[in-house]
Amino acid sequence: MGNYSKALEFHEKSYQISEKALPSNHPDLALSYNNIGAVYDSMGDYSKALESYEKSHKIREKALPSNHPDLAMSYNNIGRVYKNMGDYSKALEFYEKDLEIKKKALPPNHPDLATSYNNIGLVYKKMGDYSKALEFYEKAHQIYEKALPSNHPNLATSYNNIGQVYNSMGDYSKALEFYEKSHKIGEKSLPSNHPGLATSYNSIGGVYKNMGDYLKALEFYEKSHKIREKSLPSNHPGLAISYNNIALVYADMGDYSKALEFYEKAHQISEKALPSNHPDLATSYNNIGAVYKDMGDHSKALEFYEKAHKIFEKALPPNHPDMAVSYNNIGQMYNNMGDYSKALEFNEKALKIREKTVSPNHPDLATSYNNIGATYFGKGDYSKALESFKKAQKIVEKALPPNHPSLASSYNNIGAVYDSMGDYSKALEFYEKSHKIREKALPSNHPSLAISYNNIGMAYSGKGDYSKALSFLETALSIWQKSLPPNHPNIKTVTNLIDYVKKKM
């Protein structure tokens, strides 16, 4: 935090000197406002950043020709703040103005054009429009291939960006292919402790985590962390990212004490490095809340989710997508605590924000419908639950590839409703659809596959076909024993089910 206040103090002194010495529309004054805006942007104070960037822009509009590169820089900065604020349509508007100037002022293969395409691609990715995101990332990549040497770090970044889109689409093999291309360039062009290599290891680790290969994920996250430990100061936010990622894997493995240990390390760095209302601090509280949720400590989870929410309320506009995540988290807690009216209230707030801010087929909208469905399911209102789960299913079917794990989750939710209604053949139909996707998309020991085997086993048990039930439940147990710690609650649950089925046979 000290670095930000010092930077702000320095740039404000510089501005005061310039203000006295220069006319009110001098370009150097615009630069001062720009520098002040950049500090506020880094601090997460987006409204102050926007105010400073707009002051800078007004001076440049009056003082410079309409195609001057500094005007493009202004549009770019304003676009970035709107992106950070979650106002993606405004971000696109300003990024496209930046691109228009660059197209007129620069040769068609200039690397700065690629930067603009990358910025636009990132906004489309955040909006969930993955085909548009790929289109712009590939435009950027084509320029880099023509304009830069084959081992240039920007080419590595470009492969990484394309990999991120495939990762979001659930095409993990494609994502891995592009991340590894990125990494090869980084290995050739960067020193062994360069932060860019840490980013590369981090991306590869993320794909392995999504694939359920937690040991591989840890291996790459720890490689990333070692580089950051050597190359960054001890309170650098990049180190907090490393701790967060390692914690995520431990949480997925069910090792909650380890997850908490790493999340708290991340949080300590964020508290020292960031202002008290920075959105990244809220994310840190959310992460800790998620572990307490997984541990079944709902009141503790709620406490941390509410801490996060207070920061988001102060730091972000009311329709920012992170506000939706926050409402969603609080809603889930009330759902788990059996307070279904409160759960609905918060889940519907999340849905309203997402309806305004993301494209109608964005997977986050499906998440909202799934959460609302889960609340109705908890209340025992199965027809309403089914209605919400089917809305989620339609979105996921349109937005994602046919073998995406989110589609498997969607079918699984619908199967669970039919299961609870006693319609075991319908439940089996959806559980098996879910299972087919997971078999194709995930490694054979992924914990989500065990969920499928477990659910199919329960449905057969409901039908009274205990020998089939036993076979599926034992397969679930076998996977969980290989992929999760021995004290994980899923192992205990399925062991109890196996005992029940054996008694019935």
Got the DSSP string for 425-455?
A: HHHHHHHHHHHHHHHHHS-TT-HHHHHHHHH
CATH 1.25.40.10 positions along the chain are 1-105, 406-505
Classify residue 254 by its DSSP letter: T
Question: Binning pLDDT at 50, 70 and 90, where does residue 371 land?
Answer: very high
Six-digit token string for 317: 């506009």
C-alpha atoms less than 13 angstroms from C-alpha of 272 in its C-beta half-sphere: 12
- How far from each other are the two terminal CA atoms of the chain, in whole angstroms? 65
Classify residue 110 by its DSSP letter: -
Task: Give just the sign of the alpha carbon dihedral 432, 438, 444, 447.
Answer: negative
Classify residue 85 by its DSSP letter: T
Arithmetic mean of pLDDT, 229-233: 89
pLDDT greater than 60 at residue 473? yes
The rounded percent of the chain whose pLDDT value lies above 90 is 65
The three-class DSSP label of residue 151 is: coil
Q: Which of 195-199, 326-330, 400-404 has the lowest mean pLDDT?
A: 400-404
Name residue 140's amino acid.
A
Cα 500 from chain centroid (whole Å): 40
Question: Binning pLDDT at 50, 70 and 90, where does residue 1 land?
Answer: very low
Arithmetic mean of pLDDT, 327-345: 97
The CATH number of the structural domain formed by 1-105 is 1.25.40.10
Average pLDDT, the chain: 91
pLDDT greater than 50 at residue 32? yes
Name residue 205's amino acid.
G
Cβ atoms < 10 Å from Cβ of 176: 19
pLDDT at 117: 98
Measure the CA–CA gap between 163 and 46, rounded to whole angstroms: 28
Q: What is the pLDDT of residues 65-88, one digit of tens each?
A: 888 988 999 999 999 999 988 888
Which of the following CATH numbers is that of domain 406-505: 1.25.40.10, 2.30.110.10, 3.40.710.10, 3.60.110.10?
1.25.40.10
pLDDT greater than 70 at residue 15? no
pLDDT greater than 70 at residue 377? yes
Phi-psi region of 149 (alpha: psi -120 to 50; beta: other; left: phi over 0): beta
pLDDT greater than 90 at residue 464? yes
Whole-structure pTM value: 0.79
Nearest to 43 by CA among 94, 72, 7, 93: 7
Q: What is the pLDDT of residues 350-361, one digit of tens each?
A: 999 999 888 788
pLDDT greater than 80 at residue 16? no
Measure the CA–CA gap between 16 and 43, rounded to whole angstroms: 21
pLDDT greater than 60 at residue 2? no
Measure the CA–CA gap between 290 and 282, rounded to whole angstroms: 12
Arithmetic mean of pLDDT, 189-216: 91
Arithmetic mean of pLDDT, 196-207: 94
Helix (H) or strand (E) holding 398: helix 382-399
Cβ 244 vs Cβ 218: under 8 Å: no
Residue 380, C-beta contacts closer than 8 angstroms, at least 6 positions apart:
none
pLDDT at 64: 86
Question: Binning pLDDT at 50, 70 and 90, where does residue 101 land?
Answer: very high
Task: Give just the sign of the alpha carbon dihedral 190, 191, 193, 195.
Answer: negative
Measure the CA–CA gap between 47 and 457, rounded to whole angstroms: 53
